Every structure is written in C-alpha cells, then in structure tokens.
Amino acid sequence: MHFQTPTDQDIHTAFEQGEAAVKDLVHALATQIEELAQHLTKQGEALQALQARLAKNSRNRSKPPSSDGYGKVKRTESLRKSGEKPTGGQPGHEGHTLSASDDPDRIEMHGVERCVHCQAALVGIEVAGYEERQGFDMPALRIEVTAHRTEIKVCPGCGHPSTGLFPDAVTHAVQYGPTVAAWASYFTNHHHTPVERTTEIFEDLVQHRVSEATV
C-alpha cells in the first residue's frame, strides 16, 4: 500500500474547516495505519511460509531425493581427495567482512528509563553518549501498482479534445514493468529456473503470482 502522510497544508486546511474536518483527517490516517499493520502481518506470514518451504527436503516431506537438488544431497564421502586443499579460505583469497555503514538508512533509538544498578528513574536525564549496533537486512518486497493517467482537455477555440501522452514504456491498459521482466529473465535464463518455480518465487516473495505464460 502507498502510505500518505498529511502535509502541513492538509492539517492547516482541516483546522480552518473545523472539528469535523480534523476528525476526518485523523480517521483517514488511522485507517492507513491499520491497513499497513495488516499488510505487514501478511508479509510476515508469507516470509515464514517461504522459510518453512526452503527448510524442507526429501527427508522431512514426501518427495523423491532427486527433488532436493545438488546442494541438499547427502554424500557419504567428500569428492575432494584429502590433502589437496585445506578447508576454509584459501591463501591469497581476499576476505569480505561486514563493516558498519557511515550513513545508515534508518536509525532506531532505544532509550533507557531506569538505572540498571539502583533502579533510579532516568527519564528526562541528559544523554551522555550512544552505543550503536547495525543490522543489515532487505526491505519487504511487494508489487507496486502505478496508475498512469493522461489529461483530456477540450480546446476552447476549436472544441476538439486533446489527450496527454503516456510514457513510451506504457503501451497497454494493464502491464508489468521492467523490474518484473528483469526478475523473470534473471531466474529463468541466468539460473535456469523452471517457469513454474519462477512463478512460485514471485508469489512467495511479493505475494503476487505472475502467470507462466508471462514468464
């Protein structure tokens, strides 16, 4: 969903119009918050379902071992002969360590209300410093629908209507955008993912099933 926060002008206009307008503005904002909470709940459930599906293999569900793929096949012995190379990073290999960002996208403050030693109240006490830990994660993915609307105006001189121009990439009444096309191409061509599984990936990650014909 697209969350719309009232602007200062919206608040000022509602204030000038009176109590009823202010109530309508607050109710509209509350409705958006409720819808956002429901949307986040659904995304969390979808993510849990995806994690549960990825955790399954032929040993904990009724599927043949061949469906596990190469990464899940249990091997009785290593294919590499002992002594060829040590496990872990190889000499000369440049390691990659997750480093803290100097410009985080979001900062969440976690206050301290009581002294951990004597339980004295610390509300209103000046902050002496901060301790920071950073978490790197991916934002929730979803399908975003953009409605392109062109203006239609009637010329006062000749009386004929004129219509605005759509963007060059928008050629149909309803269509998928370039990112959906890039995903479909990436899974099916680069990773050789079957079409049916690609549609499942879309449904699991963005709660929208793209048809196999489209993929």
Percentage of the chain lying above the pLDDT 70 cut: 80
Cβ–Cβ under 8 Å, residues 3 and 32: yes
What digits encode the pLDDT tens for the residues 168-212? 999 999 999 989 989 899 999 988 899 999 999 988 888 888 899
Check if the beta carbon of residue 154 is closer than 8 Å to that of residue 160.
Answer: yes
The partner residues of 121 in beta bridges, in order of sequence, read: 114
C-alpha distance from residue 114 to each of 108, 119, 155 (Å): 19, 5, 70
pLDDT of 75-86, one tens digit each? 445 555 555 566
CB atoms within 10 A of CB 14: 19
Where in the chain are the domains?
A: 1-59
Check residues 108 and 93 and name the one with the higher pLDDT: 108
Percent of the chain whose predicted confidence (pLDDT) is above 90: 34
The residues with which 161 forms a beta bridge, in sequence order, are 154
